[in-house]
Amino acid sequence: MKTVAILGCTGSVGRSTVDLLAQVPDRFQVEVLVGGRNAELLAEQALALRARHAVIADPGGLEDLRARLGGHGVTAAAGRQAVLEAAARPVDWTMSAITGAAGLAPTLAAIKGGGAVALANKEALVCAGDVMLRAVRDAGATLLPVDSEHNAIFQAMADRQYDEVDSITLTASGGPFRTASIEEMEQAAPEAALAHPVWSMGAKISIDSASMFNKGLEVIEAARLFGLAESQIDVLVHPQSVVHGMVHYSDGSVLAQLGAPDMRIPIAHTLAWPQRIRTNAPRLDLAALGRLDFEPPDPVRFPALRLARAALRAGGAAPAILSAANEVAVAIFLARGLGFLDIARLVEAVLVEIGPQRAETLDAVLHWDAEARRVAHMHGTALGATRHAA
Same domain, 179 and 302: yes
Same domain, 125 and 179: no
Asked if residue 270 belongs to a domain, the reply is: no
Mean per-residue pLDDT for 261-288? 93
Mean per-residue pLDDT for 256-266? 94
Asked if residue 268 belongs to a domain, the reply is: no
Task: Please say if the pLDDT value at position 116 is more than 90.
Answer: yes
Instruction: Read off the pLDDT of residues 75-100 as tens digits, 9 standing for 90 and up.
Output: 999 999 999 999 999 999 999 999 88
Same domain, 195 and 331: yes
Q: What CATH number does residue 331 fall under?
A: 1.10.1740.10
Q: Residue 72, SS3?
A: coil
**What whole-number distance in Å separates Cα of residue 218 and Cα of residue 84?**
26
Same domain, 191 and 104: no
Same domain, 101 and 54: yes
Same domain, 228 and 85: no
Same domain, 175 and 123: no
Split into its structural domains, the chain has a count of 2
End-to-end CA distance of the chain: 62
Same domain, 95 and 47: yes
Q: How far does CA 91 lie from the centroid of its chain? A: 22
pLDDT band at 369 (very low <50, low <70, confident <90, very high): very high
Full residue range of the structural domain in which residue 330 is found: 151-260+283-389
- Among residues 145, 176, 198, the one where a domain terminates is 145
Q: Tell the burial category of 139 from Cβ atoms under 10 Å away from its Cβ (0-12, 13-18, 19+).
A: middle
Task: Please say if the pLDDT value at position 389 is more than 80.
Answer: no
Q: What CATH number does residue 85 fall under?
A: 3.40.50.720
Asked if residue 269 belongs to a domain, the reply is: no
- Among residues 120, 145, 170, the one where a domain terminates is 145
